[in-house]
Amino acid sequence: MDVKEKHIASSGCAKDHRNTNEGDGGFSFHLIKKDGNSKARLGKIITPHGEINTPVFMPVGTQGTVKSLIPEMIEGQGVEIVLSNTYHLYLRPGHELIRNLGGLHKFMNWKHPILTDSGGFQIFSLGELRQIRDEGVTFQSHIDGSRRFISPEICIEIQEALGSDIMMCLDECIPYPSEYGYAKRSLDLTLRWAKRCGNVHKNKDQALFGIVQGGTYNDLRRIAVEEIINIGFDGYALGGLSVGEPKEIMREITESTTPLLPEDKPRYLMGVGTPEDIIESVSHGIDMFDCVMPTRNARNGMLFTNHGKIAIKNARYRDDDSPLDSKCDCYTCQNYSRAYLRHLFVAGEIVALILNTIHNVRFFMKLMEEIRCAINNNSFNTFIKEARK
């Protein structure tokens, strides 16, 4: 599906209810309805720190912050949950320090839900700086070169200390391409690690998600789903995608694997986040997404609009007094011209990164609002057709 970075204006759909107060404790998922003409789902996740309307996109706050934005700015774009990273917070400033200072929510002044990923992808990206064994992973810190070790048990200990609302099991993420034998051995290791994570998971107010691996092999993905479900988790994620494989393979694996996951649990596609991939994956029943794309692109001057991407540094915008996106309701588009945004970016002003990030994050939040509206109206297939134009 060749979907441009555009989407239709929302109409006839009530605004999502946003719970700005902390919840009463516990985690649950409620499937509200399915689109009448696709597998797209509308749901709600309940956590101790509030509700999350699904399908949802989670901006990435790797180090305990969504880069360039303070919490009030993040909240102002309609963000209901952010993602932080176990690996990075373990190395700096350390999970015990964060625990002693009241947990990650207090530490970063974010009152809404947080998901922490296990650090498996970051460890995978270290390449030769890591050694994987059944006990866990020994690796060199990218910060100071010190030798560190993470096991499934330590991974859960770190995340429980952080106090995130949703934790992820430690898994091994393999590169593309990988031979079948390696993918099978890696999956077996991930499944053993998942059982160990489940065995030491103590705080039931913190949900724990299992991760489906298996590379690009459908039979391994089916085995992974069966085994992960047998262990039993609060939600299920598709991992090991968007790691260099052709887009058509990523979409085929998502389409074939998602229907195997339990209907009454959240379904999370890890690290996938272009607008077209989000729309395509929602049509197969995915509920949760994350990606660095909106924030990273903003810092590089690449901005999403209803008319396609804009490289704001281009000379064509030097005297353009129109808003970045006339259909966008964000602070940036309501107050500043393309000419001013270009000036700030070319001049290297810090506020350029702030205004760009506000817009890109709001673009993604508005996309998710419109997706939920279309599902609610049983018009998701029409939404897809409009987005393709």
Which of the residues are catalytic? 117, 290
Give the H or E element holding residue 52: strand 50-54
Say how many C-beta atoms besides its own lie within 10 A of residue 319's C-beta: 10
SS3 370: helix
In 89-241 the beta strands, taken as DSSP E runs, fall at 114-117, 130-132, 137-140, 147-150, 166-168, 207-212, 235-238
What is the rounded CA–CA span in Å between residue 377 and residue 207? 30
Among residues 242, 71, 73, 50, which one has the least CA distance to residue 84? 71
What is the rounded CA–CA span in Å between residue 241 and residue 290? 12
Among residues 165, 203, 160, 202, which one has the least CA distance to residue 52? 165
Written as one string, the DSSP assignment of 315-327 is GGGTT--SBS-TT
- Give backbone dihedrals phi and psi of 266, rounded to 5 degrees, phi first: -65, 145
Would you give the DSSP letter of residue 242? S
Structure tokens at 313: 């540094």
- Cα–Cα distances (Å) from 211 to 112, 233, 239, 308, in that order, read 23, 9, 6, 33
Structure tokens at 252: 């085929």
Phi-psi category of residue 48: left, alpha or beta, with phi > 0 → left and psi -120 to 50 → alpha: alpha
What is the rounded CA–CA span in Å between residue 110 and residue 71? 6
